[in-house]
Amino acid sequence: MILRWLTERRRSRLLEQPFPPRWREILARNVSAFALLDDEERARLCDLTMVFVEEKHWEGCGGLTIDDEIRVTVGGTACLLLLGRDHDLMRDVVSILVYPSAVLLPDAGQGTFDGRPRVAEDATPVLGAAHRGGPVVLAWDAVVQGSRNARDGRNLVIHEMAHKIDFLDGEADGTPPLETSAERRQWAAVCSRAFAAVRDGSDDFLRDYAGTNEAEFFAVASEVFFEQPKQMVRRQPALYQILVEFYRLDLAAR
pLDDT at 115 exceeding the cut of 50: no
The predicted pLDDT at position 107 comes to: 55
Q: Per residue in 33-46, pLDDT tens?
A: 898 899 999 999 99
Average pLDDT of 187-191?
A: 97
Answer whether residue 214 shows pLDDT above 80. yes
pLDDT at 106 over 90: no
pLDDT in tens, 13-26: 888 999 999 999 99
pLDDT at 123 (0 to 100): 64
Name 85's Cβ contacts closer than 8 Å, sequence gap at least 6. 247, 248
Q: Average per-residue pLDDT in the chain?
A: 91
Q: Can you name the residues that pair with 124 across neighbouring β-strands? A: 105
Per-residue model confidence (pLDDT) at position 22: 97
The pLDDT-based confidence of 150 (bands split at 50, 70, 90) is confident
pLDDT for position 155: 97
Query: What is the reported pLDDT for 92?
Result: 95
Cα–Cα distance measured from residue 241 to residue 87, given in angstroms and rounded to the nearest whole number: 22
Q: What is the pLDDT of residues 45-85, one digit of tens each?
A: 999 999 999 999 999 999 999 999 999 999 999 999 999 99
CB contact at 8 A, 188 and 175: yes
Query: What pLDDT score does 131 carry?
Result: 86
Report the range of poorest mean pLDDT among 32-41, 82-91, 102-111, 211-220: 102-111
d(CA 16, CA 14): 5
**Quick one: which of 72, 176, 163 has its CA closest to 113?**
163
Of 59-63, 96-100, 135-139, 147-151, which range is least confident? Answer: 147-151
